[in-house]
Amino acid sequence: MKKLIFYFLFFSLMGYFKLLFAQPGSLDNTFGTGGKLTTDFGSSDDLGYSVALQTDGKIIVAGRSNNGLDDFGLCRYNTNGTLDNTFGTGGKLTTDFGNSSDEGRSVAIQSDGKIVVTGGSNGDFALACYNNVVTGIEETAIDELINIYPNLSTGTFTVKFTALKGNEAEIKVLNVIGETVYYKKAGITQEHELKEIDLGKITTGIYIVQVKVGEKQFYKKLMIDYWILMI
């Protein structure tokens, strides 16, 4: 029995150290399938030419997709290589410039999170800019149990809970590229409870507030702007 336990521990540790000290240049088995993946746009000829990394680790790939005619092709992958279904249609999109030959050759991400792709269209210079923001999340309708106000703020806002006493709430604020800029867990101890959230001197712009209590989730757009201090 002791030998069995020893061999189990030995081979478990060997597997751990093999993963920890993987040979540089070896395929990363935590990505895609054995470190590799392919993506089909449902066309005859798809090529990826350029890669950009978002600050949250997601991967943008730009190239060409052919479905009779060549179009810009764009994909976004999660860090493990799966397509990000919150982007485009199932993680993919194509852009047609109205010509027979369009292809994206290079991709970059602006400071506001938008994606810029450059390439060619029927022998001409071509450029496309794509929104890449979490504000595509649909706001939840005013809810009798959870509410957030005001939606125009200088960095502080209130979350109101009604009839949720005894539950724990998760409050998260996301910026335009999906990064979490604020996170807090808070117990709800009263039938009608107000939680004031202070984001400090956060950059002006649009954010998404996500409040989760059990299986219930609530989303609200929040605009941060300091000009209202002057009114």
Q: Each residue's pLDDT tens digit in the chain (231 positions)?
A: 444 444 444 445 455 445 545 677 888 888 989 999 999 887 678 889 999 988 777 899 999 998 778 899 999 998 899 998 888 888 899 999 987 789 999 999 887 778 999 999 988 999 999 987 654 455 555 567 888 888 888 999 999 988 888 999 999 998 877 788 999 999 999 988 999 999 998 888 888 888 888 877 788 888 888 775 555
Q: How far, in Å, CA of 212 to CA of 216, rounded?
A: 6
Q: The domain spanning residue 185 has which CATH number? A: 2.60.40.1930
pTM for this structure? 0.55
Domain range spanning residue 178? Answer: 136-230
Q: How far, in Å, CA of 113 to CA of 95, rounded?
A: 19
Same domain, 110 and 161: no
Q: Which of 80, 114, 132 is the last residue of a domain?
A: 132
Q: How far, in Å, CA of 201 to CA of 214, rounded?
A: 30
Same domain, 119 and 148: no
Whole-number CA gyration radius for the chain: 24
Terminal C-alpha separation, the chain: 77
Structural domain total, the chain = 2
Task: Please report whether residue 120 resides in a domain.
Answer: yes
Task: Please report whether residue 103 resides in a domain.
Answer: yes
Q: Looking at residue 202, what DSSP letter applies?
A: P
Q: Where are the beta strands (DSSP E) in 112-175?
A: 115-121, 124-130, 146-149, 152-153, 156-162, 168-174
